[in-house]
Structures are given as C-alpha cells and as structure tokens.
Structure 1
Amino acid sequence: MSAAASSTAAAPAYDEAWFATRAQAGVQRLRAYDPGHDLVALRRRFGAEQLVELGSNENPYGPSPRAKEAVLAQLDQLHRYPDPLGADLKRALAAKHGVTTAQILLGNGSHELLMQLAQVYAGPGDEVVFSRYGFAVFALATQAAGASMRIVEALPRDAAMPAGHDLDAIAAAVGPATRLVYVANPNNPTGTWFGRDALRAFLAKLPAETIVVLDEAYAEMADAPDFGSAVELLATHPNLAVTRTFSKAYGLAGLRVGYLLAAPGLVAVMERLRESFNVNGPALAACEAALADEAHLASACARNAEQRAALSAALGERGLRVFPSQTNFVLVEFGADTARIEAELIARGVVLRPMGGYGLGDCLRITVGDADENRRLLAALDAVRA
C-alpha cells in the first residue's frame, strides 16, 4: 500500500462526534437550543396567512407604529456601524426604570445576556441553582460555562401554583459553591409567577455574595395584584440582576433586543465580554421609539389579558387542565394523547409548542393569539379530539 493510500485510510472522520471531542468540556455536554418547529418550512407549506403560529410566544398585535417608522428612517444608514454604546436607548431605559445608564447592559435578546451572566460569573467547580421547568437557557448557560447545575424541584401539580417555583427550596439549595441563582418571574414555560412579598422574603434568605438573576421577559404582561418587579429592589440588593426583552410585549421579536439592569459594577465587568455592536442600528432606534409609545404597549397587554382569560376558559370548558398564567401563553395538560394531538394540529396548520424537552411531555404550551387565531385553534382542537 502506498504512503498516500495509507494516509487516506488513517484519516479521521471529521463528523460532529470528532469535533465534539475537541470542544471544551462544558460544550461537549450541551444540546443545541431547540426552537421548536421549522416555521419557515411550515409557512411555505401552508402559507403565512393560513398558518396559525401559537408556539413562540410572539405578540400577535405587533410593534408600535412608531417603532416601524424608526426602522424605516434607519435604512439609509445601513452602511454605518450602530452606536456601540446604545446610548440613546440606554437613556430612555434609565428614565423608564429609574436607574442610571451605568446600570444597563444591552443584548441581542435577553438570551445572550443570560448566557453571558454564566460566562462571567460561573465556571468549573461552581454551582448554579435554578428550578425545574425554568427557562431552557438557564441550563444551557450553566453547562456552557462548565459549572454544575443544581436543579430544584418545582411545586407539585396539586399545589396552588402548580409547577411554579418553590422559592424556599431554591434558597435552601444555595451553598458555598453557588455563584448564580436563575429565577424567571413570570416563568416560561409554565406561565406561573410569585408575588412581591414572596420575592422580598426569598432575596432576604440568600447570601449577599451570590448573584441572583431575575428573568422578567413577560413582566409587562403580568397584571396580578400581587405581582411586583425585581427592578424595584435593585437599590437595596446589589447582587441582583434583572433581564428584560423587547421581543414579547413590545412585539419586536424579529429585531432581537434585550437588556439587563443591575449594579454598575456588575454591568462594568460584563461589558468586558460584550460583543462589539451587538445591537444593530434599526433595532436601537425601534426600541427607543417603542418605549415612548406607552399607549400601544398598554393596548397590547390589555388585549392579551382579555384573550388569555377567554382562551383559558374555553380550554377549561373542554375538560383540559390549564395552568395559571401571567404571560402571553398558557400551559395545558393533554395527558396521554398529547403527542397525537400536537401532530394532528400541525397537519392542520396549527403550531403549538411541545414540552417534552422540559420534562412536561403531557403538556403543550399555547401562545395567546388574537381572537381569530384563538378561534381557529379551538376549532382545530375540537376536530382532532372528536
């Protein structure tokens, strides 16, 4: 056998498994984030107007007209880099939340910020604590940083807040190796929440040296009398970080902008890792304009609350268990028929979010659509359950 043939025969297979062995330990254990169904392919199959997309927690009412106008005004500046500091948007956010611009970090969605928090503040030998059924990115961020996950059991399904966070158990799980605690309020994918008094009591139990991350992606939609944002507690809890997004209530999911509010020192350290120009120019302008249109935000949230109540009631009338929610989605228990129902709904052009990846395989997460989308969902559901 020639030297060339011998070399060819000995060459490794450059497949995913081969490259995985060369990745850092944390990445080797990861599975890629699952976005759900291939929506682009489904839109081509059914047509964008016929497909009922209720799997991604998007706002069916869209963004403020001012945000659209701001994007159009930026189109002649596409050859220019955006403001690397996002200064105008930060000033608008500072005014809205009563913080300084030094307390704000912008991200390409809150997903990026949640990942960066673990990259900066956790690593091998450290622990990160979060609840079962918490946002999937908590686990991804922890594993990518090489830290250990400490997953706390959620409240049982027969509890007053089924599958919600057990805050006492989360606090008890924090130990000397804990560097981060992730909590979502309201929570994705369950829709559950806890009140301001519970939040204050929870924070009081945690060591001051442990960074506590409150993911509030759905906070604008929460209208429960007892709900209170952690933003109110930033001044008294320097170890607290709050993440928000423009993707949900503001209807700007396609532009991917999130932000973090925290102590200036925490933000300054995270700035060392932030990718340059991580928020594009049209997105910066659109988000600033959206913040100024409080009437549009209030209208979208009010319509969401109305449709959430109507959809929950309609599903309950059909004998389905609907988990309590303060978001723009509801988690619904379908039991042993869940996979079949979900597949048959897809065949009819109705997209929901399967929950097997969260350990909730007998449930589907349903985005609260507008009145027409919800009507079409219910009609399709009745057909597949007949």
Structure 2
Amino acid sequence: MEEQIKINLPINLGLNDGTICPQSCIDVMQAHKSITSLRNYTSSLNNPVLDVISEVDGVQPENIYLAHGSGPILKQCIPHLVKSKITGSASKMFKHLISRNAFPIISGRLTYFKVPLKAGNAGLQIKLLPLDQHTNWKLRVEDVVETLNQGDGLVYICNPNNPTGQLMLTREEIISLLEQYPKSIFWVDEAYVQYIDRSEHQPLSDLVPKYNNLFVSRTFSFAYGLAGVRMGYLLGPPEYISEFRSQVTDYCFGTLQEQLAIAALTDKEHLPKLHAMTAKDAAQITEVLEKHGIEVIPSKTHFLLCRFSGTRRTGKWLAEQLLERGIKIKHFVPVQNERYDEFFRITLGVDEENDYLCQQLDAILSN
C-alpha cells in the first residue's frame, strides 16, 4: 500500500510564494528578543539599505525607490510613466484622445498578466507580441523593433518571465533596443532574476545609471523567501525616482525590514544553495508530469509552466481536480482575445508539499 504523506492542507502552489530565506535573515529575527528592540525608527530614507543596494547593483542611492513589494511599484509607477510621456507632448495628447494609442504598453502574449490586464482596465493601449512555442518562449527582437518603429511605447520585459520561466530577451538584446529607441521606456521586471546564476545571465541593474529610459524592478519575496515581509525596490533615472518618492511618506522600511533586506543581499551562501534546491525540486515534478504526456517548459525559476496537448483536458480542469485534494495551482484567464486554456503553472513548494503534489498528480493523471 502506498504510504500517505502527512501534510497540512490546503497548500497553495498557484501563488508564487517565496522559496527559502537566507540563514542570515533567521539570525536577524532571532536577535530581536528584547521588548524594546524594535521601538526605534531607522533613518527616514532607509540609508543603510540604500547603501547596500547601491553597492550590490552598481547604482547610486538616488537611483533607488523602495516599496512594499514589486507589485505596488508596478501599479504606481508604470501608469505614471505612461501618463508623463503622453501629457508631455501635444501630439501624443491628441493621439491619446483620438485612439488611446499615444504611448502603448508593449509586451509578450504570455507574461505576468496583471500588467496588461490592469493597463487595459485603465484605458491604456496594449500591444501583445508573439511569445509561445513558435518563438521558443521568448520575445523576438524583430517583433519589438517592428512595433516601436510604428511609435514609442513602454516595453515591459519580465526577465525571467512569469509564467514561462525563460528570459524574454537577453541583456545584449535589451541594450541594443535601449540605444535604438531612446524615447521609449524599457521596464525590466527582475522579480525572479536571482534564480539564474550570473555566469548564465547578467542582470541589468548596473545599466540604470547609463540609460535614462531603463527601469529595473526587484523584490525580496521569491528567491530570498521573504514574501511575508513585503519588500521591493525600483531602479531608475533620479528625476523619476524623486517623483515616486514624493508620492509616498518616508520610513518605507521599518527597522526589521531594513535589517532583513541587508542580510539577504549580503548573504554569500544563500543563492548557490537555492539554485541546487530549485533544480532538484523542478526535476522531481517534471518527471511526474512528463510521464503522463504533459509538456513542461524548461524553467530558470521556482515555477513550471505546463501544457496539455492532444487532449480535452485543460489547466482549469487539473486545478479543480487538485483543489479537491487540497492543492491550489495556477490556471489562466483570458487577456483581451488571448486564451490559455491548455496551460497551468505550478510553483515549487517545500519537500513535503512537492512529494504530496507528485503523489496526487500521479493519481489524477493515471485515470
């Protein structure tokens, strides 16, 4: 008889929770044992963490905007940038009033859906470019070039991409576009970039001081396992960073948040350990899915995009089956006219969660 795995249900492998936090962060939390250890504010601009980010990412403190996760940054800053581009030009204002196409948001058809979805709800023009198996799950530079030749816009690049787990564009390709289209904005969402070894891909943070049309967003939620603390930051040109800071109050990070951020960024042992753990867990789940004929797109992150083919089964169907067994996974809603019925995404859990997931997948897909 198959041994039953004991686990607390439900488990959520549909929301991209973090993986594990660095041991140095545990040390920080354990150091706060006094009833007065958190009674004081840190500096109003969080200068200690700004200094560490500056050193790690090759920027200056005036290039950094702190916030409670990268989600709030996307929601606040992208509409502001698009609006500033439109209102700063009489011709763009006229075009926007006529067609809503003065400064579109440009991205791939299969990417972090909240960006195009919320932009569309706000009345902004969205242009979704091919991104599927025919493009090897990446954006094609020629498609971006063709679109920008029709007019400037904000290009949203989730790198590596959610949900495909692949780089949308390489560093070299993005540099070429930055230089070719200086009046367009390139937003590189590096929420998952720490899952990739720097020998394979160099993040773009160090390019921010050089290009005034480049923005890079980051979070501590995923690779640093600190989603429950809600910390993120944006790197960009000082004039825009100053505008974003003016819209919120000082003391963005509390003392504990600041100390955890510094510990995470300076822990030299964490990311190599994370890379090995992620590879092991992804291989375990991939083996079960592929045994049942499900395509698993190779991922550089802690989640797997999967696809049914040659069957009537859908991502929604599997999500419903797993939910009955106490597991949540991600299936996809339509964006504009784009449908993703055959797809689903699984976020890697801890060992016990992954074991239970594999057991339940095997039982469901064997029927």
Calculate the TM-score normalised by the size of structure 1: 0.78
203 and 297 in structure 1: CA distance in 2 versus 1, 3 angstrom threshold: same
Q: Does 1:58 align with 2:35?
A: no
Structure 1 residues without counterparts, runs of 5 or longer: 1-46
State the partner residue of 2:356: 376
State the partner residue of 2:79: 119
**CA distance, structure 2, for counterparts of residue 104 and residue 183 of structure 1:** 19
Q: CA deviation at 1:309?
A: 3.2
**CA distance, structure 1, for counterparts of residue 153 and residue 277 of structure 2:** 39
**CA distance, structure 2, for counterparts of residue 140 and residue 341 of structure 1:** 24
State the partner residue of 1:26: none
State the partner residue of 2:93: none
State the partner residue of 2:332: 355
Q: CA deviation at 1:233?
A: 2.6
Q: CA deviation at 1:147?
A: 3.0
The one-letter code matched in structure 1 to 2:230 is R
State the partner residue of 1:251: 225
257 and 191 in structure 1: CA distance in 2 versus 1, 3 angstrom threshold: same
State the partner residue of 1:135: 112
State the partner residue of 1:365: 345
State the partner residue of 1:302: 276
8 Å contact 2:171–2:203 — kept in the other structure? yes
Q: CA deviation at 1:167?
A: 3.1
SS of the residue corresponding to residue 311 of structure 1 reads: helix
8 Å contact 2:185–2:213 — kept in the other structure? yes
Q: CA deviation at 1:81?
A: 5.0
State the partner residue of 2:303: 329
SS of the residue corresponding to residue 36 of structure 2 reads: helix
Greater Cα shift, 175-184 or 126-135: 175-184
**CA distance, structure 2, for counterparts of residue 248 and residue 334 of structure 1:** 27
**CA distance, structure 1, for counterparts of residue 253 and residue 27 of structure 2:** 18
75 and 233 in structure 1: CA distance in 2 versus 1, 3 angstrom threshold: farther
The one-letter code matched in structure 2 to 1:315 is L
Q: CA deviation at 1:143?
A: 4.3
277 and 357 in structure 1: CA distance in 2 versus 1, 3 angstrom threshold: farther
Structure 2 residues without counterparts, runs of 5 or longer: 1-5, 87-95, 97-102
Greater Cα shift, 307-316 or 246-255: 307-316
The one-letter code matched in structure 1 to 2:110 is Y
Of 218, 239, 242 in structure 2, the residue corresponding to residue 265 of structure 1 is: 239
8 Å contact 2:104–2:127 — kept in the other structure? yes
8 Å contact 2:215–2:236 — kept in the other structure? yes
- What CA deviation, in whole Å up to 9, does each residue of 1:87-134 have, x standing for no partner? 111111111112211111111111111122223211362322222122
8 Å contact 2:220–2:232 — kept in the other structure? yes
SS of the residue corresponding to residue 188 of structure 2 reads: strand
Q: Does 1:99 align with 2:59?
A: yes
8 Å contact 1:75–1:282 — kept in the other structure? no
State the partner residue of 2:194: 220
The one-letter code matched in structure 2 to 1:182 is Y
Of 157, 182, 194 in structure 1, the residue corresponding to residue 133 of structure 2 is: 157
199 and 119 in structure 1: CA distance in 2 versus 1, 3 angstrom threshold: closer
**CA distance, structure 2, for counterparts of residue 324 and residue 167 of structure 1:** 21
RMSD: 2.6
Greater Cα shift, 69-78 or 255-264: 69-78
**CA distance, structure 2, for counterparts of residue 132 and residue 88 of structure 1:** 39
99 and 374 in structure 1: CA distance in 2 versus 1, 3 angstrom threshold: same
Q: CA deviation at 1:350?
A: 1.8
Of 258, 282, 305 in structure 1, the residue corresponding to residue 256 of structure 2 is: 282
Identity %, equivalent residues: 26
**CA distance, structure 2, for counterparts of residue 373 and residue 255 of structure 1:** 22
8 Å contact 1:63–1:250 — kept in the other structure? yes
